[in-house]
Structure 1
Amino acid sequence: MLGQWSSRFASGRAAITNRKVGRGRAVYIGTYLTEALVEGLADQLFAHTGIAPLIADLPANVEVTVREAADRKLLFVLNTDEGRVEVSSLPTGVDLLTGKEVNGCLSLGPHESVVIRF
């Protein structure tokens, strides 16, 4: 058991459990998720796995996804905010939407996106 209820009718009962499954493990979370709880769980659950963010220090409201094939990698970066944001720590590559070079950092306008081939 990773966590338990501390109040209400379920006091003392499991709220967060895990178990090994094959080479991995399954985590069951049966509680109310708050931002603080998610951050604490992420640190605890992912610390030993080598899982890390795709982009360090990513601004709030910026989403990043990577797609890979044998011959290419594509990084999708989307600003979901109403304002301009600065994104750094990006790989060097070409923005496939504009054809412009990306050299580690860029400025994204409101709801703007790039697809970087690197």
Structure 2
Amino acid sequence: MSGRTMHEFSLAEGLARELLRIAREHKASAVREVHVSIGALSGIVRESFSFGFEIIKEHEPMLKESQLHIEVDYPTYRCGQCGYLIERSSVVPAQCPMCNGVEFYP
């Protein structure tokens, strides 16, 4: 595994540990669905994270049948010139629609 994949794998391991802890705490026999939100600017590769989780769940009976759902959470950008907010965008705008400013911050 590359260093990049190892990072996502360790995150998936952490998720699995927490899911198992919560499931046991609630005396559940299995975890059916897992919903995760990953920030678009986090640097986490969705496919690698999902791949890691698939490997881990094969070794954990309580997770074996679980379905992982990943949502990408896009940031809100603020114009550095006038403060105008551009809601949840996957692309940094080229220009502010209010003042034509070109500096944006998540």
TM-score of the superposed pair, with normalisation by structure 2:
0.27
TM-score, length of structure 1 as denominator length: 0.25
| More helix by percentage | 2
Between structures 1 and 2, the one with greater strand share: 1
Determine which structure has greater relative contact order: mean sequence separation of CA pairs < 8 Å that are 6+ residues apart, divided by chain length.
2
